[in-house]
Every structure is written in structure tokens, then in C-alpha cells.
Amino acid sequence: MDQAAEGVASSAAKLVPQMVKEAVGSVQQRVADTAAGVAESVGLAVQGVREKIPLIPEGQSAQPGSEADMWTKPLVIRDDYVGAGKLAGRVALIRGGDSGIGRSVAVHFAREGADVFIMYLNEHEDALATQAMVQAEGRRCTAPATAQVNNAAVQHYRSCITDMSDADIEATFETNILGYDHMAQAALPHLPKCTTTGGGPAAAPGVIINTSSVTAYVGQPQLLDYSATKGAISGFTQALAQQLAGSGIRVNGVAPGPIWTPLIPATFPATALITWQKQVSMQRAGQPSEVGPCYVLLASSDGASMSGQVLHPNGGMPISA
């Protein structure tokens, strides 16, 4: 090897390890930056986060989504939630009770002593899992109901109003608001009435609880028809509460903010999930376990003076009536 070649070899011997070291360092830094960015985007870097929030963007192709297919499972009920028999002797009919918020409501109701009857679309695996959770609380999936929860919904991500057809809009309204009206009409003859004050579960009048959304109050530009239906649900809740006040039947609503349920990966593009939670004041999505207790309050005697009201477990997002 001539002197020039030896010089090149010597320089390469010194340069290559340094290049490798720098390359590895660069990759490590990018990985660290990416992890930090993702962690921050999902709220894990925020002080006071009580529940794990999903780290990995995921997607599903069909509405309303399957909890069985989610990579990061939603939290259904807190381990430290202790039932106090607040719904003993009650039977709740939950539409959309197989997964997400509906599953959480079913399990919370069961832990508070209620039997539960769930309705769902075609997510049989999710429904069987919810049934098992209810039975694990020592309760049954049965009917007839003394409390009705309307929770089923669909939503479709669209960037522009011109992307929506009449059929799209009608389908969303059919599930999200007409379904609520039909369920209330069907349940009304069977819900117990009470025009005088009584005590204990047997004397308690019927309850209807409707799931609205924060989008009813602040909108969501990619969920135009969904936002419209949720606004309709809030108005429907208040009007029906006034109509049924004389019967003693209470009608209330819950308007959650962004909550980690199967509907989210079935709606949003995977890339949008990284920033999805940024709209929340707490910088994180909520879990179903943080919403279920709202329904317990409204269904139990703790909420006996509440009708025509809407609770807002939305992570601190400001709303206007």
C-alpha cells in the first residue's frame, strides 16, 4: 500500500467510528424527541394525569368501532371505585352499552346494584365482554328497565361540508337523534311514574339519560353533522324533561369531551390522533371511567332534584349554554 493509500485508510479508520457514533447519537436523539413529542401530545407529560392515555395512533375501518380491536384499551372503571348500593333494585336499559362510555355506564350501574340490559349494533365480542363484567359485579343483563340510557352514536370525519351527501347526514341523524326519540317513546309506557315523594328504589320514578357531547356547545369542524345531532340531543333532553316533569320521570344528559373509546380510532385518521387531545384544557383525553360516575349521579336519588340538566365531563373545556 502506498503512502497516499495508507493515509486514506488511516483517516477512514478514525472517521468511520466517529461517523457511526454521530449517526447512532442522531438516531437516539430523534427517537427521544419523537417519544417526548408523542408523550406530550397524549398528555403523559402533564402533571396530575390520573389514567394512562394511548400512545400509539391506531385506526379502525368501521363505525362505531370495536373495543376488542383497540391496541390500547379504555379504562372502564377505577379499581378504587366502591359501590354504595345507589341503584339497588333498578334495571337500566343502555343503548350502545357494549363498549366505550356505554360499557363504563353498565359496569358502574352494576357495581351500584343495578341489573343491566344492553343494546348494540353488531359488536358481539364487545357485548359479551360487557355482559361478563356486569355479571362479575354479581348482577344480571336483564329487563324491563326503570332507567334508560341513550348512548349509541356514529360520527364521520370530513374536512368540508361539500364532502357530505344527504344520505350521510340522514344516516347520522337517524342514529344520533331519531334513535333517542324512538327509544324514549318505546320506554315511556314502562318507566315507573311517581308524582308524590317516596323512599327507596321501589318508589323511585323512571330516569332517561341522553349522551350529548361537548361538540354541541363548541362545535367540531370535521364533525359537522355529528355536532348538529349532539346539539339536537341537548335541546331534546331539556324539552322532554319539561314535558315529563309532572310524571316524576327525570330526563338529563351528559356531554363528554374527547374520551378514549372505539369511536375515536374508527373516526379520526391515525395521524390526527397525535394532536386530537390538544384541544382539551387538561391536554389529555378522558377515559370512560371518568364519565361513568356522572350517569350514576343522574340515575340515583343523589340526582333527585335534577332534570333538564346536562353534565360536562370534558377536561375543562369552556362551554356556553
Question: Does residue 74 fall inside a structural domain?
Answer: no
Question: Does residue 9 fall inside a structural domain?
Answer: yes
**Residues 17 and 134 placed together within one structural domain of the fold:** no
* Rounded CA separation 168/110 (Å): 36
Average pLDDT, the chain: 80
In 3D space, the residue among 258, 221, 215 whose CA is nearest the CA of residue 233 turns out to be 215
Whether cis (ω within 30° of 0) applies to the bond prior to 262 is no
Query: What is the tens place of the pLDDT at every residue in 141-168?
Result: 776 788 999 999 888 888 899 999 999 9
> Which grid cell sits at 145?
328497565
In 3D space, the residue among 301, 117, 150 whose CA is nearest the CA of residue 236 turns out to be 150
pTM for the model: 0.79
Catalytic residues: 226
**Residues 24 and 103 placed together within one structural domain of the fold:** no
Judge whether 64 and 262 are in contact, CB under 8 Å.
Answer: yes
Q: Is a pLDDT exceeding 80 seen at residue 320?
A: no
Strands (E), 110-151: 115-119, 147-150
Query: What is the tens place of the pLDDT at every residue in 89-123?
Result: 999 999 998 899 999 999 999 999 999 999 888 87
The type of residue at 263 is: L
Query: What is the tens place of the pLDDT at every residue in 263-311?
Result: 788 877 777 776 777 778 888 889 999 999 999 999 999 999 999 999 9
CATH number at residue 266: 3.40.50.720
Look at 267 and 193; give whichever has higher pLDDT: 193
**Residues 38 and 142 placed together within one structural domain of the fold:** no
**Residues 16 and 140 placed together within one structural domain of the fold:** no
Query: Which residue range is the domain that position 236 belongs to?
Result: 91-311
Question: Does residue 140 fall inside a structural domain?
Answer: yes
In the chain, the number of structural domains is 2
**Residues 116 and 217 placed together within one structural domain of the fold:** yes
